[in-house]
Amino acid sequence: MSRGQRTAGRRLGLITIDQAVAGASNVVIALLAARLLPVSSFGLFGIVFLVYIVLQGVSRALVSDPLLVHPVEAQERPSEVIATSSLVGLALAALTIAVGFGVQQFSTRLGGALIVLGVCLPFLVLQDLGRYLGFATQRPVRSLVLDTAWLILVFGGVAGLVVVHDHNLVHFIAVWAGTGALSGLLLFGQYRDYRPRLTISFLKYTWHFSWRYLVSYGSTQGTALATSSVVGAIVGARQLGGVQGTILLVRPFGTFQIAAVAACITEVSRAPADYIRARHHALRTTTVAGTVAVLNAVVLVLLPDPVGRLVLGGTWTTAKPLLVPTAAQIVFLGLMTGGRAAMLGMRLIQRAIVVDVAGAVVYLTATVTGSIIHGALGALWAVAMGQGALALTWWVIMLGYTRGQAPAGRHRKSDLPGQGRAGGEPEAATATDAPIDDVPIASGQLPTVTPPLA
């Protein structure tokens, strides 16, 4: 194994650890909320957390996801990226606070929680941006520091609530979001050599495809919500709960998949016209992701009843018959990981968006058809078959596009984001600078396990 391969492997390992820490933080805060808050407040917490996830997706679509395919910008002009993200965070915060004051007229607890979230949101956005900056600049240790700091701080904060027997929703949100905001401040220490200024230059530079990230994110979430509603309406809430239970059991693969995608996109985007390099990273990523997927699938199929009941409680009885098709799904997702990530790293939006839209239609159709034929089990098997077809499609398109190696020096202007106007200000991208197949779509939107049912 070459030195470069070992270095890339270490980066992938660190990104995987960071994703595990970030995922653990979300799981831990949900478990702590369930234990500490009254049932009614826990339901409201779920709404606040969902609002945060949606707002986080918007900020990622506008700033963080484009960063993975602009590593030069991340390394040479991080201050502009941080400034743009700060302004996006402030805009989202103002919207959240306004909604919170409106909701307070009907629910004091929910409205107050949203206001607290809005106050902390600018720094929460920066905390998430710091993770992506670490990935894009190939310094994942910085990402790991931010996420570990949040995990430690939130444990300390919640411990304080437990000691004083405080079960107030607003106070719990203040601890959770406030500790995340504090960890976000570490970003300024990591990039203290750069002086941030109020500008949206990075968003202007990437707008010709940032809006596509936003549309892709919206369509992905919309499809997930629609298909979940369809399954609930056709087979009932109990079987839908079983599906959600299986999703919890495949989080180990989901965590690794996100890390593998981020690593592959970052590596390929540094030389998007080097097709041999792209194929190499696609094959390597798929091999590793496929292996992890198979291991997770084997654990699912062989999971003993006592362990299943310990993890899922009463949901285990409903979820157990669904484990085999779920295992098939994650294997197919593992097989598509490298092909799709490499295409995004090469900035092939036209081809990728066609497959994504087709995939959404396939998932929705498969879910409805499978649910009608054989309930939740039929839906999962139908989606698994659709994912197998899509995995093959991604590889056929990627290999077809990279069939011939690009001539030396063949780099489009948009592939060199560091080439801007004099003085360091990036040029606003134009249709000429960035042909439609030279623009990436949502790198963070690789379909997760059972995407239409999640």
**DSSP letters along 338-380, please?**
HHHHHHHHTT-HHHHHHHHHHHHHHHHHHHHHHHHHHHHHHHH
Pick from 422, 379, 415, 95: which is nearest to 269 by CA? 415
Q: Output the six-digit token pair for 354.
A: 């066609």
* Residue 435: band (very low, low, confident or very high) from pLDDT cuts 50, 70, 90: very low
Spatial distance between the Cα atoms of 214 and 11, rounded to a whole number of angstroms:
28
Q: Output the six-digit token pair for 201.
A: 């230059």
Is residue 124 pLDDT above 90, yes or no?
A: yes
Is residue 381 pLDDT above 90, yes or no?
A: yes
Q: Is the dihedral of CA 128, 129, 131, 136 positive or negative?
A: positive
DSSP 43: H
Encode burial over 214-225: b for 16+ CB neighbours within 10 A, e otherwise: bebbebbeebbe
Is residue 445 pLDDT above 70, yes or no?
A: no
Pick from 409, 262, 259: which is nearest to 345 by CA? 262
pLDDT at 452: 34
Question: Bigger pLDDT: 219 or 408?
Answer: 219
Spatial distance between the Cα atoms of 136 and 62, rounded to a whole number of angstroms:
15
pLDDT at 408: 41
Pick from 329, 364, 289: which is nearest to 449 by CA? 329
pLDDT at 12: 65
**Is residue 281 within 8 Å of residue 342, measured between CB atoms?**
yes
* Residue 118: band (very low, low, confident or very high) from pLDDT cuts 50, 70, 90: very high
Domain limits, the chain: 3-199, 210-404+428-445
pLDDT at 424: 41
Q: What is the mean pLDDT of residues 144-154?
A: 90
pLDDT at 417: 38
Q: Output the six-digit token pair for 217.
A: 């994110």
Q: Output the six-digit token pair for 108.
A: 């004091």
Q: Output the six-digit token pair for 149.
A: 């700091």
Radius of gyration (Cα) for the chain, nearest Å?
A: 22
Lowest mean pLDDT among 76-90, 222-236, 345-359: 222-236
Spatial distance between the Cα atoms of 188 and 146, rounded to a whole number of angstroms:
11
pLDDT at 449: 35
Task: Look over the chain and give the mean of its residue pLDDT values, rounded to a whole number.
Answer: 79
pLDDT at 140: 82
Spatial distance between the Cα atoms of 83 and 77, rounded to a whole number of angstroms:
10
Q: Output the six-digit token pair for 447.
A: 């379909």
Is residue 98 pLDDT above 90, yes or no?
A: yes
Lowest mean pLDDT among 151-155, 211-215, 425-429: 425-429
Residue 192, judged by CB atoms within 10 A of its CB (0-12, 13-18, 19+), counts as exposed
Q: What is the mean pLDDT of residues 297-325?
A: 86
* Residue 11: band (very low, low, confident or very high) from pLDDT cuts 50, 70, 90: low
Q: What is the mean pLDDT of residues 292-315?
A: 85
What percent of the chain has a predicted confidence (pLDDT) above 90? 26
Q: Output the six-digit token pair for 276.
A: 């041999």
Return phi, psi of residue 199, to 5°.
-160, 155
* Residue 8: band (very low, low, confident or very high) from pLDDT cuts 50, 70, 90: low
pLDDT at 191: 87
Contacts 24+ apart (CB under 8 A), 235-239: 235/371, 235/375, 235/376, 235/379, 238/318, 239/318, 239/375, 239/376
Helices and strands: H and E segment counts in the chain: 17, 0
DSSP run (H or E) holding 118: helix 108-136
Q: What is the mean pLDDT of residues 126-133?
A: 91
Pick from 60, 59, 51: which is nearest to 91 by CA? 59
Q: Output the six-digit token pair for 89.
A: 């965070």
DSSP 426: P
Give the N- to C-terminal CA distance of the chain in Å, as an integer: 38
Is residue 363 pLDDT above 70, yes or no?
A: yes
Lowest mean pLDDT among 17-26, 212-221, 433-442: 433-442
Is residue 233 pLDDT above 90, yes or no?
A: no
Question: Bigger pLDDT: 358 or 194?
Answer: 358
Pick from 119, 121, 100, 107: which is nearest to 41 by CA? 107
What percent of the chain has a predicted confidence (pLDDT) above 70? 81
Lowest mean pLDDT among 22-36, 95-109, 184-198, 410-424: 410-424
Pick from 357, 337, 340: which is nearest to 348 by CA? 340
User: What is the tens place of the pLDDT at every residue in 220-231?
Assistant: 776 766 776 677
Lowest mean pLDDT among 52-61, 134-143, 281-290: 134-143
Q: What is the mean pLDDT of residues 37-50?
A: 81
**Is residue 15 within 8 Å of residue 256, measured between CB atoms?**
no
pLDDT at 418: 39
Question: Bigger pLDDT: 361 or 6?
Answer: 361
Q: Is the dihedral of CA 355, 357, 358, 363 positive or negative?
A: positive
Is residue 75 pLDDT above 60, yes or no?
A: yes
